Amino acid sequence: MGLVRQQPGAPVIRDSHMEHPPLPLIRAARGIAVSVSAAALLAACGQREQQASAPPPPTVTVATPVKRTIVDYDEYVGRFVAVDSVEIRARVSGYLDSVDFKDGQIVKQGDLLFTIDKRPFQNTLDQARANLEQAKSNVTFTKADLDRGQQLVRDKTITAQIFEQRTQAYRNAQASVSANEAAVRQAELDVEFTELRAPITGRIGDRRVSPGNLVTGGAGGNTTLLATIVSTDPIRFEFTFDEASYLRYERLAKNGHDIASRGGGVPVALKLIDENDFDHAGRMDFVDNVIDRATGTIRGRAVFDNPNGIFTPGMFARIRVPGTSPYEALLVPDSAVGTEQTRKYVLVIGPDNKAVNHYVTLGQTTSDGLRVIKTGLGPDDRVVVNGLMRARAGQAVTPQEEGSAAAEKVSQQQKQQ
């Protein structure tokens, strides 16, 4: 594409494919080049700013798990029951004369509780004693008459029949003395029964009958209930556990590890509904001999000292029973355990200082805030015990080595807080 020859002096005419583009095209091309250069420059600046503002790896505290001998515990809910519970009922009938206690107080064995009008019973006792004296006098007379009859019968003064009659009279007089002695003892008991005393030491309830009312006594079923007494120290705690736990306890007991078997004496601990720790120590003393068909559970019982009387029959509480024999376990602070949906994990720092999720199986929590790790963790693993929220799986961190003592320290700090 060259120039078309024209006559001299004529203007030069170019074809549609000219060697140089028009000026607007040149300006547009220059604008595009400038935009591309500016974009490249901004991108480079952004990369430099990102590199300059990248934060350093987060600092976390790591420690190896704590090794400790652990016993797993099972927890159950139960109720307190009194060792002794007595209903106070009169043995003799009569009018109630006085009430000698305050409702709800602690009474000791032998303390006077109720008094029934004893005058009728005292009269009966006096009459019985008089009859006894009369019977004894009759014995003296018949004995002397019998002694005289022995000589008379030898002298043939009286017949043998008369002598036998005197012998019989003497024996009847002796029997009358025995009967009247029994009547006196019964009358004395009746007088004694007019004073109702506490048969056990414990807390008495409220009076059921006021003075002046007729009290029905005796051994029948229509006797009058006057009050109830329950012992408070020591006190029993009854609970139920399932058949699977019962089998586990029995098998451990046969292997020499007495857990909650019928042998008794196994230490247990208890906490009330408003307490956080199992601070009350007791011991097992009974396991039932029958499994309830309706519930599939069996009844166990423990005994606790109750010097302050805070444990009350009928009160709910939780009891902790040893569920395994002692074993070596690995523990980490409970705060070092994270949750991912339904799985639990701990962050372990590898040799390259990167965090790795280790999914674990948890055991119980100890009183000092440490959590037992049953599976998923080794004794030499470096676990993040402080700064768990700053680290992520696959992320580099700056670990601060503290050893296994760090876990103990962290747990103590959490407990103090």
Per-residue burial over 51-69, b if 16 or more Cβ lie within 10 Å, else e, is: eeeeeeebebbbbbbbeee
User: What share of the chain has pLDDT > 90, as a percent?
Assistant: 41
The predicted model scores a pTM of 0.66
Q: Are 68 and 230 in contact (CB under 8 A)?
A: no
Q: Is the peptide bond before 234 cis (omega within 30 degrees of 0)?
A: yes
Please measure the distance between the N-terminal and C-terminal CA atoms of the chain and give it in whole angstroms. 92
User: What share of the chain has pLDDT > 70, as a percent?
Assistant: 81
Work out whether strand 297-304 and strand 316-322 pair parallel, antiparallel, or are unpaired.
unpaired
In the prediction, which pLDDT does 87 show? Answer: 94
Q: How far is CA 9 from CA 1, 5, 12, 65, in A?
A: 22, 11, 9, 103
Does residue 252 have a pLDDT over 90? no
In angstroms, the CA 6 to CA 386 distance is 93
Q: 152 or 13: whose pLDDT is higher?
A: 152
CATH architecture of 86-230: Beta Barrel (2.40)
Residue type, 351: P
Q: Where are the beta strands (DSSP E) in 205-287?
A: 214-215, 225-230, 235-242, 267-271, 280-287
Q: How far is CA 231 from CA 81, 139, 224, 308, 320, in A?
A: 9, 51, 22, 13, 24
Boundaries of CATH 2.40.420.20 in the chain?
Answer: 60-67+327-416
Please state, rounded to an integer, the average pLDDT across all residues of the chain.
Answer: 82
Nearest to 207 by CA among 115, 293, 269: 115
Q: What is the DSSP string of 273-305?
A: TT-SS--EEEEEEEE-SS--TTT-EEEEEEEE-
Q: 157 or 379: whose pLDDT is higher?
A: 379
Q: What class, spelled out in words, does domain 60-67+327-416 have in CATH?
A: mainly beta
Structure tokens at 212: 């002046």
**What are the tens digits of pLDDT across the range 303-327?**
999 988 899 999 999 999 988 888 8
Band (pLDDT 50/70/90 cuts) for residue 146 is confident
In angstroms, the CA 146 to CA 173 distance is 12
As a whole number, mean pLDDT of residues 95-123 equals: 94
Domain 73-82+232-322 carries which CATH code? 2.40.30.170
Boundaries of CATH 2.40.30.170 in the chain?
Answer: 73-82+232-322
Nearest to 407 by CA among 131, 67, 101: 67
**What are the tens digits of pLDDT across the range 208-235?**
999 999 999 987 778 999 999 999 999 9
In angstroms, the CA 36 to CA 41 distance is 9
DSSP H/E element including 116: strand 112-116
Work out whether strand 398-401 and strand 59-63 pair parallel, antiparallel, or are unpaired.
parallel
CB neighbours of residue 208 within 10 Å: 14
In angstroms, the CA 76 to CA 241 distance is 7
Q: 194 or 393: whose pLDDT is higher?
A: 194
Band (pLDDT 50/70/90 cuts) for residue 14 is very low
In angstroms, the CA 101 to CA 206 distance is 9
Nearest to 87 by CA among 215, 227, 203: 227
In the prediction, which pLDDT does 53 show? Answer: 60
Boundaries of CATH 2.40.50.100 in the chain?
Answer: 86-230
Torsion sign over Cα 182, 186, 188, 192: positive
**What are the tens digits of pLDDT across the range 366-404?**
877 888 998 888 888 889 888 888 888 888 888 888 765
Q: Are 409 and 374 in contact (CB under 8 A)?
A: no
**What are the tens digits of pLDDT across the range 51-70?**
556 678 888 888 889 898 88
Q: Are 215 and 95 in contact (CB under 8 A)?
A: yes
In angstroms, the CA 293 to CA 253 distance is 24
SS3 30: helix
In the prediction, which pLDDT does 6 show? Answer: 47
